[in-house]
Structure 1
Amino acid sequence: MFPDSKITQGFQCGRTKTTAVPGELSADQQKTLVVRMQKGPFSISTDGSNHTAGDKQFPLMVRTVGENLTVQSELLAVPTCKGSATGEAIFTLIADVKERNNIPWTNCVALGCDNASVMTGVKKGVIAFMKGQQPNMYLAGCTLHLAHIAAEKGANTLPFLPSELLTDMYYYLQHF
């Protein structure tokens, strides 16, 4: 990688070291994230993987306020839901990660998620269980999901396929 450097010519990095380096770097990043979550407000967002069978992963993205009032978005964890991904099961995944890291519920100000009832349901959705721990929490449903659905429905009413129009435009402009 660095053929002109005498220092790096003797460097070797096999599978074990290559695997360990990102793990150690992410552990340091996670520690600083957890400290910010313990001390100040944060929002947490998640969306399940699209696997139709088996376990589903729920990456937990967190937004905090960092130095100089900068908003930082970072990955906290990627817990796996074994079995049915109910609102209670997903809530339990989030709660377990928070408890392992001693993060208080009072600092959690919002849940970001898609608009599925398993997430937004007022009785058995993830937000319902989270509001049981932090009643002042805000639900930040995903406007991108709604925009995507609206665009998809609108495109389905067109008398042609948008992909065909784009292809025709590409070939037309290619000759200029």
Structure 2
Amino acid sequence: MLGKDAAAKLRSVPLSNDTIRRRIEDMSADIKSQLLERLRGSKFAVQLDESTDVSGSAQLIALVRYPWDGRIQEDFLFCQELTGRATGEEIFNVIDMFMETGNVSWENCIAICTDGAAAMTGRNSGVVARAKERNPMMIATHCMLHRQALASKSLSPELQSVLSTVVSVVNHIKCKPQSRLFGQLCREMGAGQDTLLFHSEIRCVDAKALSHITCDPDKGN
């Protein structure tokens, strides 16, 4: 498109695998350092989720919310594989190590949100209990999406039938190439959203495990 001279100049640019990898690592390190710098100087809330990927490995995903430039900013904090058992102790150690190496104080973490699993909310060795040992003033909440999914299990048969049909249709579109076509259709129709969320089964937890979790419906927590 630009001619032989431009093609020759492009071929002279070093684009080896190592060069590209180094540049990606440099950009990643810079983004991480900026985020940690923000967390050191402000209060923030963390949302955690432990899940299993397609290879069978347990992955711990953490998101963070914090005030920045006059609004609430949400960023991806980290994703790290759990090499051993996905216990509350090991999950907390991963988070604690990340905080320690990033020089981020637990006192700045004012809230932690989990899916209510026993490893997260266990009274003695759960992640929430261990985190509150570092910051007793921390507020613990249960993920709103999980609560809504659990509440939907007690719907009337008529509503449950409608919901099951909708979930089946959404999951069928989401896991097929039609997902891209669906997004294109939504954009052509001027819809505000063009992405579907994959619906997965949500487990119910023992109420005793959630007895120390703060839930304030008026605040949406």
Number of the residue aligned with 1:18: 20
How far, CA to CA, are the matches of 2:122 and 2:167 in structure 1?
39
For residues 59 and 159 of structure 1, do their structure 2 counterparts lie closer, same or farther at Cα, with a shift above 3 Å needed?
closer
How far apart are 1:153 and its partner, in Å?
Answer: 5.6
- Give the superposed CA RMSD: 3.1
The equivalent of 1:102 in structure 2 is: 103
1:170 matched to which residue of 2? Answer: none
How far is the alpha carbon of 1:56 from its aligned partner?
1.7
Structure 1 residues 165 and 13: CA distance shift in structure 2, 3 A = closer
- Match for residue 162 of structure 1? 165
**SS of the counterpart of 1:80?**
strand
Matched, 1:46 2:42: no
2:61 paired residue number: 59
Aligned with 2:35 (options 33, 36, 51): 33
1:19-65 superposed Cα distances (whole Å, 9 cap, x missing partner): 23332212111111111111110111221122598642212221121
TM-score by structure 1 length? 0.77
Partners of 1:85 and 1:130 lie apart in 2 by 16
1:58-97 pair list within 5 angstroms: 58-66=60-68, 68-97=69-98
How far off its partner does 1:100 sit?
A: 0.6
Q: Is the 8 A contact 1:55 1:83 kept in 2?
A: no
Range that drifts further, 119-128 or 156-165: 156-165
Q: Give the distance between the partners of 1:164 and 1:132, measured in 2 at CA.
A: 40
Matched, 1:138 2:139: yes
Structure 2, unpaired ranges of 5+: 171-221
Deviation at 1:128, TM superposition (A): 0.2
Partner residue in 1 for 2:218: none
Offset at residue 87 of structure 1 (A): 1.0
Q: Aligned equivalents of 1:77 and 1:159: distance in 2?
A: 37
Change (3 A) 1:17 1:138: same
- Distance in structure 1 (CA, Å) of the matches to 2:156 and 2:15: 50
Determine the C-alpha separation between the residues in 2 that align with 1:143 and 1:76. Answer: 20
In the TM superposition, what is the alpha-carbon distance from 1:77 to its structure 2 partner?
2.2
SS in structure 2 opposite 1:96? helix
3-state SS of 1:158 partner: helix
| Identical pairs, percent | 26
Distance 1:53 1:84 in 2: 16
> What amino acid maps onto 1:158 in structure 2?
S
The count of corresponding residues between Structure 1 and Structure 2 is 164
Distance 2:163 2:41 in 1: 54
Distance in 2, Cα, partners of 1:134 & 1:4: 60
